[in-house]
Each structure stands twice: as structure tokens, then as C-alpha cells.
Structure 1
């Protein structure tokens, strides 16, 4: 396995671990109750820590397709959640979201950084790294 692929797997593991620990910090330490959309994002992020950890241990870059699928769905979910929070058109038409409103913003750093934004950045980073791994695997097979 190429060093580039190993580093990308470490990046995926790092990003997913930081995102997982960050979400647990916000809910368990800061006491922010996650909304329904946040739970969907957690469902897609948390397994990536285990998947990437096992892939690093096994030196298996083939897992990149799985991480790409999880992160793409996660990015779409996070992007929609962010749109619900920041764009009136989406926020006014947002479905009811359980006990905690999906339009609520527990944090709003610099006027645009919210929890769904942080998740979106992590999912996009994982998707890019997954794509890099897939490209490397394709190049290895071609040569």
C-alpha cells in the first residue's frame, strides 16, 4: 500500500474521531441535546472511526468506497441541516424535527460556524481523502 493511501486512511480516522469526540463533547459535556438531523449525522459518522481504524490495522485501502458512500450521504445530510439553519427558504419549510428543533443553533461562531457546518466540513474532508485513495488504487491496478 502506498504511503499516500496510508496517510489518507489516517486522515479519515483522525477526522472521524475528532468529529465523533466533538459531537459527544457538545451533547455530554455542554449538555446540548441533539436534534433528529444531528442523530442521522452521528449514525453516519461514528462507524467511520471503527471502519477507518480497522482499515489502518489491516492496511486495506479498499475500504475507501465504503467511507466515500458514508461521507457523501453524511455531507448531503449535514448540508441540508445547515441550509435549514441558515437559509430562510429551507428553514420555513423544514419538517417537524422532534423535541429539539433542527433550526436551532447551539453555537454560531463567526456568524456561520454551527454544529452541522462542522459535520459538513468533516464529511467533505473524508470524502476527498476517500476519493484520493480510490484514485491511488486505480493507478496501482493500471500499472
Structure 2
């Protein structure tokens, strides 16, 4: 009989799915409902985050431990961009190396919307970091 105190084996993938879903819905709400245009680095992070929702949903539905190998490359790519974006926002990376152009919002603009008192680059960093931890520490057999 399984120990009731231990979480089910699909808890990390469920957590990763819920984080990706929340981040995706949050990004869509901020962009489409609130009308805040994303910067170039935000677009790159969206490219990495949005496909995670169906990938993790299918992995959760099929109870496939191998889903980490499909999702982790996207998560790590998004995490790398989020680290860069957060460094720009914090002033640790000079603005001269930012990919943002004059046609859109600045990647290090302090007037960008904050949610729960945290700027969007930090929220993205947290979402990608938490998703990466969930996928790295998933239990299950290797394919």
C-alpha cells in the first residue's frame, strides 16, 4: 500500500504544467487585455513558455516521465533569456547590449508593468526556474 504522506509521482509535472499555464495566461492577459506591448526579450520568453502548456499537459495525461526530455530544452532556453532580461532590468548588464529597438518597448524600461510588486522579467525568471526544478527533480524511469 502506498504511503499517503508522499506526494503522487505526477506532482512535479502537474506543478510544472500549472506554472507554465499561469505564466502563459498571465502574459496573454498583460499583453492582450492590459495592452502592454512585450519587448523583444519578452517575445523570446513567450516562444519558450507557450508550447510548454500542451507539451506538459500531454505528458501529464499520458503519465510520461520522459516529458522532461521534451520540455527541458525549452525551459532552459527560456531560463537563459530570462536571466539575461533580469540582468538588463537590474542594471547588471549594460543597455548597449540589449536587443530592443526603437520600434518597441525597451527591455530594461522601469515603467513596464509589475505584477504583485515584481517586475515582469523577475516573474518570468521565477516561472522558468520553478518549472526547471520541477522537471529536473521528477521521479520516474528513464525512457
The alignment's TM-score, normalised by the length of structure 2, stands at 0.84
Unaligned runs of 5+ in 1: none
2:68 aligned with 1:68, yes or no?
no
Number of residue pairs matched? 135
Matches of 1:27 and 1:109, distance apart in 2: 13
Partner SS state of residue 38, structure 2: coil
| Structure 1 residues 1-143: aligned runs within 5 Å | 4-87=8-91, 89-97=93-101, 98-105=103-110, 106-108=112-114, 113-133=118-138, 136-137=139-140, 140=141
Higher helix share: 1
Structure 1 stretches (4+) deviating beyond 6 angstroms?
none
Is the CA contact 1:8–1:129 (under 8 Å) kept in the aligned structure 2?
yes
Matches of 1:114 and 1:52, distance apart in 2: 26
Q: Please tell me the root mean square deviation across aligned C-alpha atoms, in Å.
A: 2.2
The alignment's TM-score, normalised by the length of structure 1, stands at 0.84
Unaligned runs of 5+ in 2: 1-5
Is the CA contact 2:17–2:57 (under 8 Å) kept in the aligned structure 1?
yes
Partner SS state of residue 137, structure 2: helix
CA offsets, 1:42-96, max 9 Å, x none?
0000000000100111111101122222111111101101111111542243234
The more displaced of 115-124 and 79-88 is 79-88
Matches of 1:96 and 1:53, distance apart in 2: 33
Corresponding residue number in structure 1 for 2:3: none
